[in-house]
């Protein structure tokens, strides 16, 4: 099922850097295995071709933004291609919890996307999100326009066919960059953990 794709606006979840932003939602209810079988080979090639691969978030810049939201109640786990999972504390094993949340998001790969300043914020199912640089999107503009259909699952293709209308560019950006979340869910390589601050650290800040 596809929603909020052709001009219908939805409210972006109130969460961290995405708070109070209006976004679009695209819902792919096709099975994740079906999506992977159909797209995985093309995605592996496309994600490293042209400027698509350069859309992956800059980890250092992403960590800098997330650090501002670390508190005693929440930690953040960052994966290799920029997918972030928020972990509510206390949590005995943040890494395991983050991997479970990422797997669940990949099984139901819905997303909301919104402009945040010059960047693009993606919010996936559960406490999973990412942020894509505006300059990277600008540089990959032509590649996104030419390749976005390769990142659709069967359900999404059918809905677009029935509507006889393409999604807008913002949604196309989300479709292409959703592939980074799916890659992270498969590889599960954690590159950074931002642990919750102790209460004393918060009091002194």
Angle, CA 55 vertex, CA 187 and CA 48 arms, to 5°? 60
pLDDT at 164: 79
pLDDT at 22: 32
DSSP for residue 51 = T
Q: Decide if 151 contacts 176 (C-beta within 8 A).
A: yes
Tokens representing 203?
């009091």
- Strand-by-strand arrangement of the 74-79 sheet: 10-11, 22-26, 111-116, 119-124, 128-132, 84-88, 74-79, 190-194
pLDDT at 51: 67
Task: From 168, 174, 136, select the one nearest 7 (Cα to Cα).
Answer: 168
Whole-number Å distance between alpha carbons of 191 and 181? 14
pLDDT at 47: 54
Which parts of the chain sit beneath pLDDT 70? Answer: 1-51, 199-205
Sign of the C-alpha dihedral, residues 18, 22, 26, 27? positive
Angle, CA 92 vertex, CA 87 and CA 95 arms, to 5°? 55
pLDDT at 81: 93
End-to-end Cα separation, the chain, in angstroms: 45
pLDDT at 10: 32
Whole-number Å distance between alpha carbons of 204 and 189? 33
Residue 57 exposure: Cα atoms within 13 Å on the Cβ side:
31
Question: CB count, 10 Å around CB of 11?
Answer: 13
Antiparallel, parallel or unpaired: β 190-194 and 74-79: antiparallel
């Amino acid at each position: 099922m596809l929603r909020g794709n052709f001009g219908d606006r939805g409210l972006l979840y109130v969460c961290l850097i995405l708070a109070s932003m209006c976004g679009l939602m695209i819902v792919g209810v096709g099975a994740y295995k079906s999506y992977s079988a159909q797209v995985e080979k093309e995605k592996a090639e496309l994600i490293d071709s042209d400027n698509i691969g350069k859309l992956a978030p800059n980890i250092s810049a992403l960590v800098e933004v997330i650090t501002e939201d670390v508190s005693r109640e929440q930690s953040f786990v960052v994966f290799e291609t920029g997918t972030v999972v928020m972990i509510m504390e206390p949590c005995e094993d943040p890494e395991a919890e983050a991997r479970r949340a990422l797997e669940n998001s990949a099984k139901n790969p819905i997303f909301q996307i919104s402009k945040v300043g010059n960047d693009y914020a993606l919010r996936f199912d559960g406490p999973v999100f990412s942020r894509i640089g505006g300059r990277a999107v600008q540089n990959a503009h032509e590649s996104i326009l030419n390749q976005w259909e390769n990142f659709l699952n069967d359900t999404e293709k059918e809905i677009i066919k029935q509507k006889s209308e393409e999604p807008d560019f913002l949604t196309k950006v989300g479709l292409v960059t959703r592939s980074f979340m799916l890659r992270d869910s498969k590889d599960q390589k954690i590159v950074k953990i931002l642990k919750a601050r102790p209460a004393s650290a918060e009091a002194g800040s």
